[in-house]
Amino acid sequence: MTGSAPLVVVGNPENRRVTLFRAAATEAGIPVSVLPWRQLAAGPVRLPAGATVRIDSPGEDAEVDRLLRGADRPAEHGEIVGLGRWYAGLRAALRRLAVAADNAGATLLNAPDEILAMFDKRACHARLVSAGVPVPPALPRSPVDYLGLRAAMRAVGWSRVFVKPAHGSSASGVLAVQTAPGGRIRATTPVELAPDGRLFNSLRVRDYTDERDVAAIVDRLAPDGLHVERWFPKVGLADRTIDLRVLVIAGTPGHIVVRASRGPLTNLHLGNARGDLDAVRAAMGAPAYEAALHSCVSAAACFPGSQHAGVDLLIGTDWRRHAVAEVNAFGDLLPGVLDRFGRDSYAAALHALRTGRRPTTGRRPASAGSGPTGQRRQTSGPARETARHERDSNRGDAMTVGRTA
């Protein structure tokens, strides 16, 4: 950050994201003001002249959710409702912010159109494909209901898929669906299906094996848009399935978390654990690990107007193949994770800002595979898939190093 330009954070003032960022800014001697999401979601806003503006997540605030959805009353706690309306409200709010930034001559650290692209899994996937970033193959169109999903799966020969709401986050509404001959089905998901048909997020991951339940969930989610990817079999370590969250700040993949689960969903808030990054790096070997980080940098570079992006990285069962599952606009909440300079994610973002670093085009990171990067604070299409992936995707789960999900 240069000169005396004020730093503004768009966020929910009492949310831990904002409090952690403000704490890092205080430590760095940088004053920060907060523009509440409630204000932006409700109507036009003004920014200080020449401000530098960081946009943080609107999540975890029921009133902000209500305003973005244009609803008369807040949703019940955990209820999955109106995702399409929420996305439309987010788009309108970000457009208001862009107008305010233009009027004030302000600099936005996250481009609104890029936030919107990252919050549309279909658009994000297409952008990554266009850039040559390895991703799991996806259905070309959003199924309109459960019958359409099953028909599309049969058409491309997939028996295992991840079904994701197009505009969801934090595994909300995600189903890991496996089918087998004889009409057998299993959908692993944090979604709770209420007796009246409504859907709720839960911290308890469950399996649905009655096709009527799976159909009811998909049919409820489908009107707001679905993104369906072929199941990418993930490697296992120490009796758990793993993937990585790689935070790229100004082109540097400096904060990495291994997410370890006993099932296919690895989000840490679902009761999963952090894994051993050194063990992952050793198992992959330097060339494969560096190539995977390079893909993360390339994925982040698809959003050049965003200072940071949280990339979800899948590692194949052979420890060599990899794919990018998602890119997260607000994927920098990684408490206790330090880069090799001892900075947490917020301190690193502030350092990049103060030193004038901005996102770069995809490149191979010079430090990949070396140093204590990411240590915890304790000191495209279906026809081109390989036959091997076909075998991996359709076989059942197994555990240990080599367990897949």
Return the domain boundaries, the chain. 7-108, 146-230, 233-394
Tokens for 72?
């008369």
Give 356's pLDDT tier (boundaries 50, 70, 90): confident
Tens digits of per-residue pLDDT, 146-183?
Answer: 999 999 999 999 999 999 999 999 999 999 999 999 99
What's the whole-number mean pLDDT along residues 16-29? 97
pLDDT at 179: 97
pLDDT at 220: 98
- What is the CATH number that goes with domain 233-394? 3.30.470.20
Q: How far apart are CA 200 and CA 182, in angstroms?
A: 30
Which amino acid, one-letter code, is at 249? I
Contacts of 4 by beta carbon, 8 Å cutoff, 6+ apart:
none
Tell me the CB-side half-sphere exposure of residue 13, using CA atoms within 13 A: 8
pLDDT at 312: 98
The neighbouring-strand residues paired with 241 are 236, 261
What's the whole-number mean pLDDT along residues 322-347? 97
**In what side-by-side order are the strands of the sheet with 107-108?**
32-36, 7-11, 52-55, 107-108
More confident residue, 367 or 303: 303
- The length of the chain is 405
pTM above 0.75, yes or no: yes
Mean pLDDT of the chain: 89
Asked if residue 370 has pLDDT above 70, the reply is no
- 340 DSSP assignment: T
pLDDT at 1: 52
Tokens for 222?
């489908």
Q: Is 45 helix (H, G, I), strand (E, B) or coil?
A: coil
Burial degree of 8 (CB within 10 A; 0-12, 13-18, 19+): buried
